[in-house]
Chain A
Amino acid sequence: MTEPLVTTSSQTVGPFFAIGLPWEDGPFVVPAGTPGAFHIAGRMVDGTGEPVPDALIETWQADPDGRFDHPDDPRGAVSSGFRGFGRCATDVNGRFEFLTLKPGALPGQAPHVDVSVFCRGMLRRLVTRIYFPDSDNSADPVLALVDSEFRHTLIASVAPFGYRFDICLQGQDETVFFDV
């Protein structure tokens, strides 16, 4: 095998990505009016509890049957048309929200949403996961990797609009971030 190429380095998204990255339909993993759709919404704060107003949050998840519309899914491709992807910039109060459907369970894993966090101040992406409080998460292998003391930071709470999930970059409730 020839020498692998050097992976291009990550650099900060910077403070001005809002001119180019947010999409009008970014927060809509599913279109408005989709039966069963709910919001996952939350707030992102820094080490002093101040809102982070210049972050970009992205989500990636399976459809309600636990399938991905992707050729590398070894169970065979499906074409449900389910986008699975969401993108939302935080507002001045650090708030973000997505309209989506609950992902199905995956083989051996509880329903979850993968999350990417980009912001001024970070040179690389932070990755976390959202789990659901009304699912059986007891046998999930990724949650099992996390110290039980911090596991709660990955589990959304039930809210009138769907689920609430806050992201704390630092502090007592610092969200668990993963290296994938």
Chain B
Amino acid sequence: MRLPTYRRDEESQPPVHWPDYVSNPGRAPKRPLVLMPQRLTEITGPLLGAERVGQHDNDLTVQHVGEPQGQRIVVTGRVLDGDGRPIPDTLLEIWQANASGRYHHNGDRHPAPLDPNFSGVGRCMTDAAGRYTFTTIQPGAYPWRNHHNAWRPAHIHFSLFGQAFTQRLITQMYFPGDPLFGQDPIFNSVRDPKARESMIASFDLDATVPEWALAYSWDIVLRGKNPTPLENEEDEDDD
């Protein structure tokens, strides 16, 4: 069997061990990861989601009776693979803090106001060209006790499936020019400067909605395929 396989891009990814993030050393596995060649289970994956997306799931500002507090923003972009091919019909799930930097979660004890009109949760499917759009509120920065006076730069959490188990990604989108980048061990866990910067959205004047909302654009790149299906180990196994 000849299988398409997905390129490794270790350079762009944070390490397993990153002690600057204080909850990492007690959880990161101590033994080295075992390199696993991709087989059928890894090159397939769940193709689902359309049935999970409700009418207001891509507009986090209209999910309640009233309008949420804060700066309205549009976040738009494309989901691509490493070869620039758009990934259509794939589910994106997002969650974020409100304008004051507080999550709608019991465990969040940051003494900033909750907003009864903001849950901070969104979902959408990419269209045929791999495009997605969310309307939301600019999230606030929040303190998190990792080190003295630690603050997370403003961010939106993104979860994506792509088309294969191998492409699964959970990440965070950041905003340009955030003064908190320098002290954030999560952002800085990505050592390659080009990869680190690719987590930052661009201000997008063209997508801005006059008299209504600022806009940011952010493309997300999932792992690309190896150029030609390699002779897979599966062949050897069948011998």
**Docked pose: A52 CA to B221 CA in angstroms:** 30
Q: Which residues of A contact B172 (CB under 8 A)?
A: 11-12
Q: Report whether B42 and A125 are in contact in the complex, using a CB–CB cutoff of 8 Å.
A: no
**Docked pose: A1 CA to B228 CA in angstroms:** 12
Q: Report A39 CB to chain B, min CB distance, Å.
A: 20
Q: Report whether B38 and A180 are in contact in the complex, using a CB–CB cutoff of 8 Å.
A: yes
Q: Report whether A74 and B3 are in contact in the complex, using a CB–CB cutoff of 8 Å.
A: yes
**Docked pose: A79 CA to B202 CA in angstroms:** 41
Q: Report B160 CB to chain A, min CB distance, Å.
A: 9
Q: Which residues of B contact A107 (CB under 8 A)?
A: 1, 40, 234, 237-238
Chain A interface residue count, Cβ-Cβ cutoff 8 angstroms: 71
* Closest partner residue, chain B, to A86 (CB atom): B46
Q: Report whether A16 and B29 are in contact in the complex, using a CB–CB cutoff of 8 Å.
A: no
Contacts between the two chains (Cβ within 8 Å), count: 235
A109-127 vs B, CB cutoff 8 Å, 1 = contact: the mask equals 1001010101111111111
A134 interface residue, CB < 8 Å from B? no
B227 interface residue, CB < 8 Å from A? yes
Between-chain CB contacts (< 8 Å), 10 pairs: A4-B224, A5-B80, A6-B198, A9-B195, A12-B170, A20-B93, A72-B43, A107-B1, A107-B40, A120-B23
Given contacts A4-B9, A7-B12, A19-B121, 19 further A-B contacts (CB under 8 A): A5-B81, A5-B83, A6-B9, A8-B12, A8-B199, A11-B172, A11-B187, A15-B105, A19-B95, A20-B121, A58-B168, A74-B1, A106-B39, A121-B27, A127-B36, A169-B27, A170-B30, A177-B34, A180-B36
